[in-house]
């Protein structure tokens, strides 16, 4: 067979089935665009997070101790720094009470003595804008604005630190590693390491945090260096962390976000696969007659196979190329959206991994998915064409191999994305179970529907429509359910991540905490603060036993989570807090239950397996107290607001020794004045100013949450488009029903009605099933993997359900519209052969 003929036929095929080939082409392009752009952004965000994590610790590796490093550690450090490309800066942190030269005022301050290298990553920003170390000459110090305000000083003022009189040179606006120690008892003072001896404060009997910050070359892995230093460390004194291992809330958010991005990548991959597969299958199904006709006219098997392989390859290559180009364009074009994230000095980088993946997915998926229908061709008998014989559904070894290859291909891609064999295995296992469940659920749903005796004519016709031969309703339903599951899951996981990490730092989150307010000081305190306040009385106590079963401290300490053997902070009140609701019970305390009742937070109830009516035995500084569990509460959101595991009625704890605690949002400009007022009037009150850390953490969270939202929207949009294209591809094929109705005299409105109902059934079943599965997936990911609380968001879920159903109905109808509008005779003429 001449090649010219083949190419002519290929072009003719493409031209004749313009609608379906266009949909397939768009489907491929969309999948590849999604994968390329997402992959590229993922790489960018990953880089940005690594940079932020480094800045958060100002170094690659950090050694810490409460004592001077031991000789073994010192010699290891000396060995490391003998390499020219390893840099080390020592840092000493401690509190001291500074005083003005006239001794009129003093203040507890957080001193940080630094060697010139500090910080290796990030920047200490000064009010003057000058480079940090230039302002930190011997004899000079750089301080936080609060210190100036609280002591009534200005730049140029003198200040006594220990024995040394220093000059205030500048004001520090931010330091990169501030959030590592969230809570500080006083304003920051930076001192040059060259003044360390002069201060006379780092000496025997001092409490100082000794640190060594290391900057490593790219050729040295922080983990390897950490390992090496650990081998020399005395674990009872010295700690070695890398910027990756050190634990912090931000770090946890980064880890979770990174995993989320990988998930989105995989989900997009699966959606792409599902989309291409369903469109291709529909295309092939529509072409079966043509293929058979060709065979009947004497075309060799190989020719027909080559023809269609040519068609899909052409579409695949062209679609993939267009997709990659558009994806890269999109990535570059939208870079400004994530401008905050991407380092100013970083150049636009093509994520070649993502491009490669897109290429492989685009081409290989097309070939693999097309292989089965093409292999089937060999056994297609021309006679079947005339006899309207039903195709025997016998699977050939080649087909099995294709399915196996396709599966392996996707498994490999998933593992590659996750970069973790164990989690990948869990993931794939979970996915298989889910597909099984979706399949079984759909099958049961269809069976039940088939048995249903419906009197309503249109509904009966709609249900019958689902069971007409070659409608492939089961396949369509599974496809739709799977796609919607993925889209809903992305949506739900993002919402939960956002609620846990981002919304915990809203604009009005408390940024200063007051501890140890005494009971007779609350009025005075309220007056000093002059704004609405919630006072939380705190009674320190230990839980001794649950229902007489003693708490075992040894066992409790092995818990990774919070443990029941630690001292707890009890409180008493008779109202729920704004962010609380009941899980069990509908009042905190039973009105007839007496004095000794306790309301328990679900978190601690889970840890201790505590139920309603259980008796909890506490010991409050020597005095025993037993109370019955009268309600179980949960928190509706993660936040900076205080919360309490155990809440008692007033009468139970009012007499117990207690201190009062409160949290406030204070404008940074008022912070110093407020602290001064409070410390002067109530010197026993401890003030924890967290505004700087909160600002830095909230800023980072905010930036990354924007990226997270962008990813979510992007992948959801791509998912929806893929769903739409597969509906169009699969639904258009079975529209001839409309024609028959019309021939039989049904009015157009009836046809529309039947079709709407049919689509509603499809949409309702797949959206409901998808939502259910999505909740399951999201719960597992959030609770088991992210280790965060899971909220189901019922209102948003319902809205999602509605949107899902509506989308299926509208798209389904619009796919049939063109055919419904045609006169029946046109259709019949076109299909006269049948």
Please, which of residues 145-164 interact with another protein by CB under 8 A? 160-163
Q: Is 637 in the site for another protein (CB under 8 A)?
A: no
Residue for token digits 């039947």?
Answer: 754
CA distance 397 to 75: 66
Q: Is 640 in the site for another protein (CB under 8 A)?
A: yes
What residues numbered 756-795 form the site for another protein, per CB under 8 A?
783-785, 787-789
CA distance 176 to 125: 9
**617 to 552, 640, 648, 690: CA distances (angstroms):** 13, 29, 13, 35
Q: Is 548 in the site for another protein (CB under 8 A)?
A: no
| 667: helix, strand or coil | coil
Q: Is 419 in the site for another protein (CB under 8 A)?
A: no
CA 815, 817, 819 angle in degrees (round to 5)?
95
Q: Is 649 in the site for another protein (CB under 8 A)?
A: no
Minimum CB separation of residue 426 from another protein in Å reads 8
CA distance 641 to 513: 10
- Indicate which single residue of 75, 221, 231, 684 sits in contact with another protein (rule: CB under 8 A): 684
What residues numbered 348-407 form the site for another protein, per CB under 8 A?
none
Question: What letter would DSSP give residue 139?
Answer: T
Nearer to another protein, 160 or 318 (CB): 160
What residues numbered 46-65 form the site for another protein, per CB under 8 A?
65
- E runs forming strands in 57-181: 61-65, 87-99, 106-114, 125-126, 140-144, 158-161, 164-174
What residues numbered 236-275 form the site for another protein, per CB under 8 A?
236-237, 239, 249
What residues numbered 214-243 form the site for another protein, per CB under 8 A?
236-237, 239
Nearer to another protein, 250 or 272 (CB): 250
Nearer to another protein, 383 or 549 (CB): 549
- Indicate which single residue of 7, 81, 106, 221 sits in contact with another protein (rule: CB under 8 A): 106
Q: Which stretch binds another protein (CB under 8 A): 88-96, 115-123, 489-497, 705-713?
A: 88-96
- Indicate which single residue of 560, 575, 749, 829 sits in contact with another protein (rule: CB under 8 A): 560
Nearer to another protein, 419 or 834 (CB): 419
What residues numbered 485-544 form the site for another protein, per CB under 8 A?
500, 504, 513, 515-516, 518-519, 540, 542, 544
Could you tell me the two tokens for 8?
A: 């002519």
What residues numbered 566-595 form the site for another protein, per CB under 8 A?
566-567, 569
Which helix (H) or strand (E) segment holds residue 571: the answer is: strand 568-572
Q: Is 415 in the site for another protein (CB under 8 A)?
A: no
Minimum CB separation of residue 141 from another protein in Å reads 14
Minimum CB separation of residue 340 from another protein in Å reads 24
Q: What are phi and psi of 431, to 5 degrees?
A: -65, -45
Minimum CB separation of residue 74 from another protein in Å reads 14
Minimum CB separation of residue 32 from another protein in Å reads 32
Q: What share of the chain is helix, strand, coil (3-state, %, to 5)?
A: 55, 15, 25
Q: Which stretch binds another protein (CB under 8 A): 103-111, 216-224, 458-466, 766-774?
A: 103-111
CA 289 to chain centre: 48
Q: Is 450 in the site for another protein (CB under 8 A)?
A: no
- Indicate which single residue of 200, 343, 429, 792 sits in contact with another protein (rule: CB under 8 A): 200
What residues numbered 650-679 form the site for another protein, per CB under 8 A?
655-659
CA distance 602 to 760: 40
- E runs forming strands in 518-564: 536-546, 549-550
Q: Is 205 in the site for another protein (CB under 8 A)?
A: yes
Minimum CB separation of residue 203 from another protein in Å reads 5
Instruction: Calculate the CA dihedral of residues 741, 744, 750, 755 and round it to 10 degrees.
Output: -10
Residue for token digits 């636009």?
Answer: 348
Q: Is 179 in the site for another protein (CB under 8 A)?
A: no
CA atoms 455, 457, 459, 462: torsion sign: positive
CA distance 354 to 777: 25
Q: Which stretch binds another protein (CB under 8 A): 24-32, 97-105, 380-388, 739-747?
A: 97-105
DSSP secondary structure of 215-278: E--TTS-HHHHHHHHHHH--TTTEEEEETTTS--HHHHHHHHHHHHHHHHHHHHHHHHHHHHHH
Minimum CB separation of residue 150 from another protein in Å reads 12
CA 729, 734, 738 angle in degrees (round to 5)?
125
Pairing mode, strands 597-601 and 623-635? parallel
Let me know: does 481 contact 766? Beta carbons within 8 Å.
yes
# residues near another protein by CB under 8 A: 85
Q: Is 100 in the site for another protein (CB under 8 A)?
A: no
């Amino acid at each position: 067979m001449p090649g010219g003929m083949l190419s002519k036929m290929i072009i003719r095929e493409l031209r004749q089935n313009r609608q379906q080939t266009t949909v397939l082409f768009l489907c491929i392009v969309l999948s590849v665009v999604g994968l390329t752009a997402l992959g590229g952004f993922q790489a960018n965000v990953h880089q940005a997070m690594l940079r932020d994590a480094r800045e958060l610790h100002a170094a690659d590796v950090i050694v810490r101790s409460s004592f001077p490093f031991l000789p073994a550690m010192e010699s290891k450090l000396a060995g490391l720094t003998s390499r020219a490309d390893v840099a080390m800066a020592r840092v000493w942190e401690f509190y001291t009470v500074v005083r003005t030269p006239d001794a009129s005022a003093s203040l507890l301050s957080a001193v940080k003595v630094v060697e010139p290298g500090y910080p290796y990553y990030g920047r200490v920003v000064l009010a003057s804008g000058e480079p940090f170390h230039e302002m930190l000459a011997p004899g000079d110090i750089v301080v936080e604005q609060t210190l100036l305000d609280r002591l009534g000083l200005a730049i140029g003022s003198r200040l006594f630190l220990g024995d040394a009189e220093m000059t205030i040179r500048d004001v520090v606006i931010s330091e990169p590693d501030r959030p590592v120690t969230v809570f500080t008892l006083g304003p920051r003072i930076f001192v040059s390491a060259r003044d360390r001896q002069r201060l006379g404060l780092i000496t025997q009997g001092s409490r100082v945090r000794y640190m060594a910050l290391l900057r490593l070359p790219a050729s040295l892995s922080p983990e390897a260096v950490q390992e090496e230093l650990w081998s020399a460390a005395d674990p009872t004194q010295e700690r070695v962390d890398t910027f990756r291992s050190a634990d912090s809330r931000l770090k946890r958010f980064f880890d979770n976000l990174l995993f989320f991005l990988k998930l989105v990548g995989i989900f997009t991959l699966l959606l792409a696969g599902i989309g291409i597969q369903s469109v291709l299958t529909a295309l092939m199904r529509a072409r079966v007659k043509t293929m058979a006709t060709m065979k009947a006219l004497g075309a060799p098997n190989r020719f027909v196979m080559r023809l269609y392989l040519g068609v899909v390859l052409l579409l695949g290559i062209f679609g993939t190329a267009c997709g990659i180009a558009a994806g890269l364009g999109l990535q570059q074009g939208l870079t400004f959206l994530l401008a905050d994230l991407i380092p100013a000095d970083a150049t636009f980088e093509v994520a070649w991994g993502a491009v490669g993946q897109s290429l492989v997915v685009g081409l290989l998926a097309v070939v693999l998915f097309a292989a089965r229908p093409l292999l089937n061709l060999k056994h297609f008998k021309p006679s079947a064409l005339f006899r309207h014989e039903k195709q025997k559904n016998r699977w050939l070894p080649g087909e099995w191999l294709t399915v196996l290859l396709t599966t392996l291909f996707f498994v490999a891609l998933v593992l590659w994305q996750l970069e973790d064999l164990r989690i990948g295995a869990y993931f794939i296992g979970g996915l298989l179970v889910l597909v099984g469940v979706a399949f079984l659920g759909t099958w049961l749903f269809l069976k039940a529907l088939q048995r249903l005796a419906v009197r309503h004519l249109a509904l009966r016709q709609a249900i019958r429509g689902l069971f007409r031969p070659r409608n492939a309703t089961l396949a369509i339903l599974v496809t739709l359910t799977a796609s919607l599951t993925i889209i809903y899951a992305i949506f739900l996981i993002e919402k939960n991540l956002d609620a846990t990490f981002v919304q915990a730092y809203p604009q009005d989150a408390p940024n200063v905490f007051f501890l140890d307010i005494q009971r007779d000081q609350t009025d005075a305190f309220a007056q000093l603060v002059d704004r609405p306040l919630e006072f939380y009385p705190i009674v320190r106590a230990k839980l001794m036993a649950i229902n007489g079963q003693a708490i075992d401290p040894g066992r409790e300490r092995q818990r990774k989570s919070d443990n029941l053997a630690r001292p707890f902070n009890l409180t008493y009140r008779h109202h729920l807090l704004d962010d609380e609701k009941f899980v069990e019970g509908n009042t905190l305390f039973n009105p007839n239950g007496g004095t000794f009742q306790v309301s328990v937070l679900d978190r601690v109830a889970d840890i201790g397996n505590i139920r309603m009516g259980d008796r909890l035995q506490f010991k409050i500084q020597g005095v025993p107290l037993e109370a019955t569990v009268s309600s179980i509460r949960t928190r509706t959101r993660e936040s900076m607001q205080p919360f309490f595991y155990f809440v008692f009625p007033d009468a139970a704890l009012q007499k117990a020794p207690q201190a009062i605690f409160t949290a406030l949002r204070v404008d940074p400009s008022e912070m110093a004045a407020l602290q001064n007022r409070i410390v002067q009037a109530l010197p026993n009150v401890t003030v924890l100013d967290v505004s700087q850390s909160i600002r830095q953490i909230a800023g980072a969270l905010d930036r990354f949450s924007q990226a997270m939202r962008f990813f979510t929207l992007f992948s959801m949009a791509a998912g929806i488009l893929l769903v739409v294209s597969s509906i169009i591809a699969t639904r258009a094929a079975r529209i001839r029903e409309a024609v028959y109705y019309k021939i039989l005299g049904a009015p157009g409105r009836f046809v529309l009605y039947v079709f709407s109902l049919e689509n509603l059934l499809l949409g309702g079943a797949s959206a409901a099933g998808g939502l259910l599965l999505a909740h399951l997936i999201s719960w597992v990911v959030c609770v088991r993997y992210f280790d965060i609380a899971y909220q189901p968001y019922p209102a948003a879920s319902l809205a999602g359900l509605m949107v899902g159903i509506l989308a299926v109905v509208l798209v389904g109808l619009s796919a049939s519209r063109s055919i419904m509008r045609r006169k029946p005779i046109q259709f019949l003429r076109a299909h006269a052969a049948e």
